[in-house]
Amino acid sequence: MVSPPAKTKGFMMAFVFNFPDVGEGIHEGRVVEWLVAEGDTVVEDQALVKVETDKAVVELPSPHSGTVLRLHAAADADILVGDPLVTIGEAGEKVPEDFAPVAEAAPAPALQPAEIEAPGPAVGSRRPLATPRTRSLARKLGVDLKSVQGSGSGGRITDEDVERAAEGGSPAAPTPPVGTVAATADGEVERVPITHLRKIIAGAMRTAKHTAAHVTHVDEADVTDLVAHYRRAKPVIEERTGVRFTLLPLFIKALVATLQKHPIFNASVDEERGEILYKKYYNIGVAVDTPEGLIVPVIRDADRKDMVELAAEVADKAERARNRQLGLDELKGGSCTITNIGPLGGVFATPIINVPELAIVGLHAIKERPAVVDGEIVIRKMMYLSVSFDHRYIDGAEGARFMSDMVRLVSEPMLLIARL
Amino acid sequence: MVVGSVSRGCQVVVIGAGPGGYVAAIRLAQLGKDVILVEKEARLGGVCLNVGCIPSKALIHVADLAHEVLGAEDMGLTVSSLAIDLPKMVEWKDGIVDRLTSGVAFLCEKNGVEVVQGAAEFVSDRSLTVSSEDGRFEIEFEQAVIATGSRPMALEGFEHDGERIIGSTEALSLQAVPEKLVIIGAGYIGLELGSVYAKLGSQVSIVEFLPKVAPDLDPEVGKALTRQLKKLGVKLHLSHRAESFEAGDPSVVVARGPKDDELRLEADVVLMTVGRVPNSEGLGLEAAGIQIDDKGFITVDDRMRTSAPGIYAIGDVTGGALLAHKAYQEAKVAAEVIAGEPAAFDNVVPAVIYTDPEVAWVGLGEEEAKEQGFNVVTGTFPFKASGRAMSLDATDGFVKAVADADTKQLLGVVAVGRGVSEFIGEATLALEMGAFLEDVALTIHPHPTMSEAFQEAVEAALGRAVHMVNKS
């Protein structure tokens, strides 16, 4: 913890708490809600503010005890690391606005996950990289430069980029405020702000689609035996452990066993140094559909946990993901991801890789279908499994071998058990 | 004229003929608008041309010339005697002001701007009255641009009398060099005029409330300025609050220091430069529904629109940096917005202090960039390593480039040194064009010039300066 600021010559006693670097890769956030008001007395470690980052909503604790003299950012404001958040000092003390901000660095406080409120629009504070002429053109064509991807040197936005953006969208004059329903020539349109999380997802998806050479291999598994074993074991396990047992842990185990045989699917790439990073750990991301959008908590060391532990952990993390209560460390460090699309229907889907990972496995609906067994048409529980992988580093044949190994494991439960 | 008997109409009325107002009026006329420009004073040009930028720079130049000649013995130039004829100097300066202000009048006339003399006051959001010695009349307008500027701030206990307690206006027209000059406020005006009178022979003391000069700028700037003021024999009293004035012969300025200690400074003349306040009173802003902030500045958006539809405000009266060139740009934005063009103010604003050495900067300083979350890299080139600076006997100062360490984009430049005001425009262009360090490093700068230091500073930020040893 920081020692209280030194008292020098009657001024500069107040402490300016800047938005700290709360974790790897976090540069910006949004003030969700202030938990204190100007004039409030706070004690060290008391939660001051809820801030939404690209990973979670966190509460920032106060580094000092004192009186809140000034809140520097309004609710809904976008903040960058280093931006002043709050000035804490002695009651009645004047905020020394005439002096340069007190540059005392606060260490990153421990994160305290909190629940989410409805997020508002997020706007970057950096100037778009465009010349005055291009900026003028953007105004003329009604293009918001913050939403334009520059194609020029170093990401510079060119006149052509602006023109392209203008053709894509309507060259609207002043855009009406968000949250309003407005009549247009084509009918009524409601403008709703894009949430911070949605922007993060959009950025990640664009990066993934833009960089990885996506290809999807789909295979079919006969899971009749697996489901039969599962159905018999489920009530027993649930009664003995109190954990709601699902099929997902079985598939996580099958995935881990397959990854152990095909390590490239459990790797990432350091393109700058031209190296492949084979992970010796099996941290499996589990895609969770939440009301706010897709969140992927990570089940660490899935190879060293039994199925009941996996079931309990998946249930807990999915629940907390829906409530946006996950800590940043629970969302980082995955080596491969699994997404269970089955309950939502469909034949099969082609998910996008969670970069920098190289593969994502899709689980699709289990359906009774006619199958041919020993020359006879019988009704079996059939399921499509998919693996979407980065074709830059993984060849199609490897994808096929990977999938057929995983299919074999889930089709023949004894093989899966043998690998445990 | 009888009150209310005459009512005129025009498309746009511009109030105030300073750098903001006359530029707005001319640009509006160029865009085909029928414009009336209202000026309270007899002469156009505002503070900048009449009692600000231009006349102060004229006096600074003469003072610099005298100072340089007197200090040129090492260079083989000995002057046996140098007479300073202040009235002659002021007459020369007034000649420049005359030429420029009449030049503005000429440009207005040629562009078809009608100029009327008088004080404007809004009656509604579509009409105002103009009052002068000749009477009063009303103007009905479709749009209005407020460009009324700012004036020196007063300080309690120091009542302006124009002789013993003066402002910057009188300081530019003194008829004799005061023996003892006390300046209250170490802002850029105080520093510039303090340097002038120190060079002309005054014993100058500066009383400043804050603990350092140029507190918002790079710490090296304050150090360089403090060093030079000491060389000139200027006494700098920082962290001192000017409290009272005791008239006498000589008069005394009483100030209080950081330890509650009393400081008494004898003064023949006291120059007040404690800041500036907006000219937003007496304009009838309420009648037009125009909002001001708690300091009296008119609130505007990036298109210079006030809270009253159709009424715009530009320049000092809107706050921010009180600089003529910012007003110029805002004037063009307002005029173009009125003409229906998609203009907006989205520029970086360079700034210059005409001290000796000069200080110039644009964009983000190192600390500012860090506060905004940039991973910062800087490069500094000292003029003591510059051949051109040596040949000018002006090796004080440096150029410092601030950039984003990750993308290598240039974020800001600060320079201290002889003539740096002349190339900060280049750095401003670099910022507006979104230049990367490489862009500047690969641009040939003429040799030998002071501007080479900008290229070298940028190369230093890239770790490859040639004319100095790079930081490892």
Domain ranges of chain B: 7-152+277-338, 165-274, 357-461
CA atoms within 13 A on the CB side of B185: 21
Residue B423 near residue B461, CB atoms below 8 Å: no
Does residue A157 share a domain with residue A229?
Answer: no
Report the CATH number that the domain containing residue A379 is assigned in CATH: 3.30.559.10
**Residue B245's pLDDT band (boundaries 50, 70, 90)?**
very high
The confidence score (pLDDT) of residue A42 equals 86
Question: Smallest CA–CA separation between B364 and chain A, in Å?
Answer: 12
Contact B407 A81 (CB under 8 A): no
pTM: 0.60
Residue A80 near residue A100, CB atoms below 8 Å: no
B16: left (phi over 0), alpha (psi -120 to 50) or beta: left
CA A318 to chain CA centroid, Å, is 13
Q: C-alpha distances in angstroms, B452 versus A401, B280, B363, B409?
A: 63, 44, 19, 19
Task: Take residue A352 and report the two structure tokens written for it.
Answer: 């996008």
Report how far residue A291's alpha carbon sits from residue B397's, in angstroms, rounded to the nearest whole number.
Answer: 59
Report the CATH number that the domain containing residue A143 is assigned in CATH: 4.10.320.10
Domain presence at residue A3: no
For B363, name the nearest residue in chain A, comparing CA atoms only: A127
Which amino acid is located at B465 in the chain?
Answer: A
Tell me which chain A residues have a C-beta less than 8 angstroms from the C-beta of B425.
none
Chain B, 328-357: which have a CB under 8 Å from a chain A CB?
Answer: 342-344, 346-347
Question: Smallest CA–CA separation between B292 and chain A, in Å?
Answer: 21
CATH superfamily name and code, B357-461 = FAD/NAD-linked reductase, C-terminal dimerisation domain (3.30.390.30)
Question: Smallest CA–CA separation between B86 and chain A, in Å?
Answer: 37
Instruction: For chain B, say whether A188 makes contact (Cβ under 8 Å).
Output: no
Express each pLDDT in B273-296 by its tens digit.
Answer: 999 999 999 999 999 999 999 999
Higher pLDDT, B82 or A175: B82
Q: List active site positions of B.
A: 447
Report how far residue B416's alpha carbon sits from residue B427's, in angstroms, rounded to the nearest whole number.
Answer: 14
Domain presence at residue A118: no
For B369, name the nearest residue in chain A, comparing CA atoms only: A82
The confidence score (pLDDT) of residue B1 equals 41
Express each pLDDT in B422-431 by its tens digit.
Answer: 999 999 999 9
Helix (H) or strand (E) holding A137: helix A132-141
Mean pLDDT of B17-40: 97
Point out the residue among B215, B371, B373 whose CB comes nearest to the CB of A27.
B373
Point out the residue among A80, A99, A154 whose CB comes nearest to the CB of B372.
A80
CA B218 to chain CA centroid, Å, is 18
Report how far residue A374's alpha carbon sits from residue A377's, in angstroms, rounded to the nearest whole number.
Answer: 8
Task: Take residue A67 and report the two structure tokens written for it.
Answer: 């009186």
Question: Smallest CA–CA separation between B371 and chain A, in Å?
Answer: 5
Q: How many CB atoms lie within 10 A of CB B266?
A: 16
Does residue A132 share a domain with residue A106?
Answer: no
Q: C-alpha distances in angstroms, B147 versus A35, B344, B440?
A: 43, 17, 37
Terminal alpha carbon distance of chain A: 45
Does residue A142 share a domain with residue A45?
Answer: no
Contact A131 B367 (CB under 8 A): no
Residue A197 near residue A331, CB atoms below 8 Å: no
Report how far residue A198's alpha carbon sits from residue A216's, in angstroms, rounded to the nearest whole number.
Answer: 25
Point out the residue among B258, B342, B433 whose CB comes nearest to the CB of A140.
B342
Which CATH code is given to the segment(s) B7-152+277-338?
A: 3.50.50.60
- DSSP strands (E only) in A98-163: 112-113
Contact B370 A82 (CB under 8 A): yes
Residue A396, pLDDT above cutoff 50? yes
Contact A82 B407 (CB under 8 A): no
Task: Take residue A34 and report the two structure tokens written for it.
Answer: 């202030």
Mean pLDDT of A27-45: 82
Does residue A269 share a domain with residue A247?
Answer: yes
**Residue A3's pLDDT band (boundaries 50, 70, 90)?**
very low
Instruction: Name the nearest CA neighbour of B409 among B382, B372, B355.
Output: B372
The verdict on whether omega for the bond into residue A119 sits within 30 degrees of 0, i.e. cis, is no
Q: Do domains B7-152+277-338 and B165-274 have the same CATH topology?
A: yes
Task: Take residue B427 and report the two structure tokens written for it.
Answer: 């750095």
Residue B427 near residue B439, CB atoms below 8 Å: no
Annotated active-site residue in A64, A72, A229, A391: A391
Instruction: For chain A, say whether B373 makes contact (Cβ under 8 Å).
Output: yes
Residue B108, pLDDT above cutoff 60? yes
Report how far residue A402's alpha carbon sits from residue B422's, in angstroms, rounded to the nearest whole number.
Answer: 67
Tell me which chain B residues have a C-beta less than 8 angstroms from the C-beta of A101.
371
Residue A143 near residue A175, CB atoms below 8 Å: no
Q: Which neighbouring-strand residues pair with A389? A: A215, A359
User: What is the span of the domain harbouring residue A276?
Assistant: 199-418
Contact A100 B258 (CB under 8 A): no
Mean pLDDT of B218-246: 93
Which amino acid is located at A363 in the chain?
Answer: L
Report how far residue A76's alpha carbon sits from residue A118's, in angstroms, rounded to the nearest whole number.
Answer: 10
Point out the residue among A82, A101, A103 whose CB comes nearest to the CB of B372.
A82
Instruction: Name the nearest CA neighbour of A82 among A17, A137, A141, A129.
Output: A17
Instruction: For chain A, say whether B446 makes contact (Cβ under 8 Å).
Output: no
Domain presence at residue A187: no
The confidence score (pLDDT) of residue A227 equals 93
Instruction: For chain A, say whether B436 makes contact (Cβ under 8 Å).
Output: yes
Residue A117 near residue A32, CB atoms below 8 Å: yes
Residue B135 near residue B3, CB atoms below 8 Å: yes
Cβ burial of B207 (10 Å; 0-12, 13-18, 19+) is: buried
Residue A44 near residue A104, CB atoms below 8 Å: no
Contact B367 A18 (CB under 8 A): no
Does residue A158 share a domain with residue A305?
Answer: no
Mean pLDDT of chain A: 80
Does residue A155 share a domain with residue A257?
Answer: no
Residue B298 near residue B292, CB atoms below 8 Å: yes
The confidence score (pLDDT) of residue A93 equals 66
The confidence score (pLDDT) of residue A38 equals 84
Domain count, chain A: 3
What pairing do the DSSP bridges indicate for beta strands A112-113 and A84-89?
A: unpaired
The confidence score (pLDDT) of residue A179 equals 54
The confidence score (pLDDT) of residue A103 equals 34
Report how far residue B24's alpha carbon sits from residue B10's, in angstroms, rounded to the nearest whole number.
Answer: 15
Task: Take residue A392 and report the two structure tokens written for it.
Answer: 């830059």
Tell me which chain B residues have a C-beta less than 8 angstroms from the C-beta of A155.
407
Helix (H) or strand (E) holding A303: none
Residue B4, pLDDT above cutoff 60? no
Does residue A233 share a domain with residue A251?
Answer: yes
Which amino acid is located at B13 in the chain?
Answer: V
The verdict on whether omega for the bond into residue A5 sits within 30 degrees of 0, i.e. cis, is no
Domain presence at residue A9: no
Report how far residue A90's alpha carbon sits from residue B275's, in angstroms, rounded to the nearest whole number.
Answer: 29
Gyration radius from chain B CA atoms: 24
The confidence score (pLDDT) of residue A420 equals 63
CATH fit for domain B165-274, picks 1.20.200.10, 3.40.50.300, 3.50.50.60, 3.30.230.10? 3.50.50.60
The confidence score (pLDDT) of residue A26 equals 56
Express each pLDDT in A178-230 by its tens digit.
Answer: 555 666 677 788 888 787 778 878 888 888 888 899 999 999 999 999 999 99
Report how far residue B326's alpha carbon sits from residue B278's, in angstroms, rounded to the nearest whole number.
Answer: 15
Q: Which neighbouring-strand residues pair with A388? A: A216, A360
DSSP H helix total and E strand total for chain B: 14, 22
Residue A12, pLDDT above cutoff 60? no
Mean pLDDT of B185-193: 93
Instruction: For chain B, say whether A131 makes contact (Cβ under 8 Å).
Output: yes
Point out the residue among B342, B433, B436 whose CB comes nearest to the CB of A131.
B433
Tell me which chain A residues have a C-beta less than 8 angstroms from the C-beta of B347.
132
What pairing do the DSSP bridges indicate for beta strands A41-42 and A66-71?
A: antiparallel
Task: Take residue A144 and report the two structure tokens written for it.
Answer: 């918001």
Mean pLDDT of chain B: 94
Contact A140 B367 (CB under 8 A): no
Question: Smallest CA–CA separation between A131 and chain B, in Å?
Answer: 4
Interface test with B, best of A129, A161, A175 (most B CBs within 10 A): A129
Contact B370 A99 (CB under 8 A): no
Task: Take residue A288 and report the two structure tokens written for it.
Answer: 């969770």
Does residue A379 share a domain with residue A258?
Answer: yes
Cβ burial of B446 (10 Å; 0-12, 13-18, 19+) is: exposed
Express each pLDDT in B130-187 by its tens digit.
Answer: 999 989 999 999 999 999 999 999 999 999 999 999 999 999 999 999 999 999 999 9
Tell me which chain A residues have a C-beta less than 8 angstroms from the C-beta of B367.
100, 103
Contact A83 B372 (CB under 8 A): yes
The confidence score (pLDDT) of residue B5 equals 52
Interface test with A, best of B218, B221, B372, B407 (most A CBs within 10 A): B372
Report how far residue B44's alpha carbon sits from residue B22's, in angstroms, rounded to the nearest whole number.
Answer: 8
Does residue A290 share a domain with residue A413?
Answer: yes
Q: Which neighbouring-strand residues pair with A183? A: A188
What values do phi and psi take at A88, rounded to 5?
-120, 135
Does residue A236 share a domain with residue A156?
Answer: no
Contact B372 A130 (CB under 8 A): no
DSSP character at residue B366? H
Does residue A99 share a domain with residue A132?
Answer: no
Instruction: State whether ipTM is beyond 0.85.
Output: no
Tell me which chain B residues have a C-beta less than 8 angstroms from the C-beta of A140.
342
Contact A82 B344 (CB under 8 A): no
Mean pLDDT of B362-381: 95
Question: Smallest CA–CA separation between B434 and chain A, in Å?
Answer: 6
pLDDT > 90: percent of chain B: 90
Q: In a 3-state reduction of DSSP, which class is residue B394?
A: coil
Express each pLDDT in A106-133 by its tens digit.
Answer: 333 333 333 333 333 332 347 889 999 8
What values do phi and psi take at A132, rounded to 5?
-55, -40
For A98, name the nearest residue in chain B, comparing CA atoms only: B210
How is the beta sheet containing A359-373 ordered, strand by strand? Answer: A214-222, A376-390, A359-373, A336-340, A284-286, A298-299
The confidence score (pLDDT) of residue A111 equals 36
Does residue A379 share a domain with residue A295?
Answer: yes
Give every CB contact of residue A391 below 8 A, 6+ residues apart in sequence. Answer: A213, A214, A215
Instruction: Name the nearest CA neighbour of A203 among A139, A135, A293.
Output: A293
Report how far residue A88's alpha carbon sits from residue A38's, in angstroms, rounded to the nearest whole number.
Answer: 9
Residue B54, pLDDT above cutoff 90? yes
For A83, name the nearest residue in chain B, comparing CA atoms only: B371
Mean pLDDT of A222-247: 92
Report how far residue A81's alpha carbon sits from residue A76's, in angstroms, rounded to the nearest whole number.
Answer: 16
Q: In a 3-state reduction of DSSP, which class is residue A259?
A: helix
Higher pLDDT, A266 or A79: A266
Instruction: For chain A, say whether B258 makes contact (Cβ under 8 Å).
Output: yes
Q: C-alpha distances in angstroms, A102 versus A8, A71, A147, B369, B373?
A: 12, 15, 34, 15, 16
Mean pLDDT of B20-34: 97
Q: Is the dihedral of CA B229, B230, B235, B240 positive or negative?
A: positive
Give every CB contact of residue B232 below 8 A, 6+ residues apart in sequence. Answer: B195, B198, B199, B204, B356
Give every CB contact of residue A417 below 8 A, 6+ residues apart in sequence. Answer: none
Express each pLDDT in A322-354 by its tens digit.
Answer: 887 887 788 889 999 999 988 888 888 899 999
Domain presence at residue A48: yes
Question: Smallest CA–CA separation between A335 and chain B, in Å?
Answer: 27
Domain presence at residue A44: yes
Tokens 């043998």 belong to A418
Contact A82 B210 (CB under 8 A): no
